[in-house]
Amino acid sequence: MADTRGEKVLLVGVSNRATPRVLAEEHLDELERLVETAGGRTVGRYVKERASPDPATYVGKGAVEEIGEDARNGGVALVIFDDELTPAQARNLEERWGGEVRVLDRPGLILDVFASHARTKEARTQVELAQLQYLLPRLAGQYRHLSRLGGGIGGRGAGEQKLELDRRKIRNRIARLRKDLAEIDTARTVRRRGRRDQFQVAIAGYTNAGKSTLFNRLTREDAFAADRLFATLDPRVARARSGKLSDTVFIDTVGFVRKLPTSLVASFRSTLSEIREADLVLHVLDASSPRVEEERRVAVEVLEELGVDPAKIVTVSNKRDLAAGPAGPFAIPISAKTGAGIDALEAEIRRRARPEAGVFLLRIPYTRGAAIASARARFRVLEEKDEGNGLLLSVAGDRQSLRSFAEYAARAAPVRGARRKTSPRTRTESLSGRR
């Protein structure tokens, strides 16, 4: 890998009604941290006021000239945009800057960070696939920095394979990676099956929220935790430390970030499946972050995208030792670092792990007659609705029995006040009342 430490970088963001200047600046703060993580050094930032992006250059003619001139004067060879650029915009910008300057966007930068943190075969395969999918549409014409893969921020990972930038070869490689991933996926599923009798708790949330620190606290592990973004790429599984949480395992997972490249989410399907398949998801918030609300929203969106049942999510407000205000009514306040609040969190996990009576929705196709019969035998059916090709069943029973019907679990339409049901303070069973 080429040494990129200290590579000078300019950052560009856009503000408008949807993204006021303060927010745009905050996004650039985070982009700056990503640059740091990638080994770069930010030497200048621009927030340009624009109602809508310029189709050709994203920021418009005047800004392009200004930034280009500053880059030349400052000896800067890399400009990173906070938003995803179209392949044409990136190409135009590089052309206008006379080929002296490489252009990258946030998704490209995130992919680069992932590529340099990937250690295991699973992570490497997933990142390479995501990178190639990101590259493919950007190959038309000469997208300069791609011809320099293998060096500098934005050029690591896939480029290290010394892959020739030939569409056909890339397509073949993508097909190969997909096959490898399918195998990895199967292996992961098999391993997960081996843990089926245990209560599985995934620790998820925004990057740097303290997931690995909490994981270490709740288990006897020593997972890598560091003040940097995307320290963790591979899920790690370990038994609970507390004797009271027998048969419980915790799973540390990769963090989320805003504007996560879609190719990355798709490629990390296998890794992220640990969150979707868990019995319980601890959504960890960094309460000391000035952007905690936005980070919460981003994480909730990703969890939704992954198809995580909201009733399975317990929100944890971490880093309370640094935070000023109260945790808010729906989160369990803790400090993974000092250990404060861990007892209460473990008590909540214990409460959730117990087989409890609840009301659940199942959607079973008529083609699965045996499953319908066994659902009727295992649960008390409260309501049945014919949906044409299957049955929607509202059933009462215990959570343990629900496990063998996981693939049929239907999501109820969001109920008003449903969020409250995930509160540690309510005694109501979380899925009950979702009739």
Ligand X SMILES: Nc1nc2c(ncn2[C@@H]2O[C@H](COP(=O)(O)OP(=O)(O)OP(=O)(O)O)[C@@H](O)[C@H]2O)c(=O)[nH]1
- Where on the chain is the footprint of ligand X (CB under 6 A)? 207-213, 225-227, 229-232, 255, 318-319, 321-322, 335-337
Stretch that binds Mg ion, among 12-20, 230-238, 317-325, 358-366 (CB under 5 A): 230-238
From the list Mg ion, ligand X, none, which binds 107 (C-beta under 5 to 8 Å, kind-based)? Answer: none
Give dist(CA 134, CA 289) in Å, integer.
30
From the list ligand X, Mg ion, none, which binds 131 (C-beta under 5 to 8 Å, kind-based)? Answer: none
- Give me the least distance between CB of 356 and ligand X, in Å please: 29
- Give me the least distance between CB of 224 and Mg ion, in Å please: 7
Taking CB under 5 A as the criterion, the residue among 9, 67, 109, 231 binding Mg ion is: 231
Question: Which residue, among 434, 357, 369, has the nearest Cα to 402 in the 3D structure?
Answer: 357
Q: Which is nearer to ligand X, 85 or 285 (CB)?
A: 285
Q: Using the rule CB under 5 A, is 302 a contact of Mg ion?
A: no
| Closest CB to ligand X: residue number | 255
Q: Which is nearer to ligand X, 45 or 337 (CB)?
A: 337
| Closest CB to Mg ion: residue number | 232
From the list ligand X, Mg ion, none, which binds 164 (C-beta under 5 to 8 Å, kind-based)? Answer: none
- The label of the residue with tokens 């993204």 reads 19
Taking CB under 5 A as the criterion, the residue among 37, 92, 116, 212 binding Mg ion is: 212
Beta-carbon count within 10 A of 173 CB: 17
Helices of type H across 38-164: 61-74, 87-96, 106-117, 121-135
Q: Which is nearer to ligand X, 91 or 319 (CB)?
A: 319
- Give me the least distance between CB of 298 and ligand X, in Å please: 13
Sign of CA dihedral 164, 264, 94, 137: positive
Question: Which residue, among 59, 86, 117, 82, has the nearest Cα to 11 in the 3D structure?
Answer: 82
DSSP string for 312-353:
GEEEEEE-TTT--S---TTSEE--TTT-TTHHHHHHHHHHHH
Beta-carbon count within 10 A of 268 CB: 24
- Give me the least distance between CB of 334 and ligand X, in Å please: 7
Q: For 372, phi and psi rounded to 5 degrees?
A: -65, -45
* C-alpha pair distances (Å), 228 with each of 117, 206, 266: 11, 12, 23
- Give me the least distance between CB of 288 and ligand X, in Å please: 7
Taking CB under 5 A as the criterion, the residue among 125, 200, 232, 394 binding Mg ion is: 232
- Per residue, the 3-state secondary structure of 152-192, as one string, reads CCCCCCHHHHCCCCCHHHHHHHHHHHHHHHHHHHHHHHHHH
Q: Which is nearer to Mg ion, 115 or 371 (CB)?
A: 115
- Give me the least distance between CB of 208 and ligand X, in Å please: 5
100 token code pair: 């002296």
In contact, 364 and 238? CB cutoff 8 Å? no
- Give me the least distance between CB of 211 and Mg ion, in Å please: 5
Q: Using the rule CB under 5 A, is 89 a contact of Mg ion?
A: no
142 token code pair: 């000469």
From the list ligand X, Mg ion, none, which binds 291 (C-beta under 5 to 8 Å, kind-based)? Answer: none
Q: Which is nearer to Mg ion, 231 or 371 (CB)?
A: 231
From the list ligand X, Mg ion, none, which binds 240 (C-beta under 5 to 8 Å, kind-based)? Answer: none
DSSP string for 199-215:
EEEEEEEBTTSSHHHHH
- Give me the least distance between CB of 65 and Mg ion, in Å please: 42
From the list ligand X, Mg ion, none, which binds 276 (C-beta under 5 to 8 Å, kind-based)? Answer: none
What residues line the site for Mg ion (CB under 5 A)? Answer: 211-212, 231-232
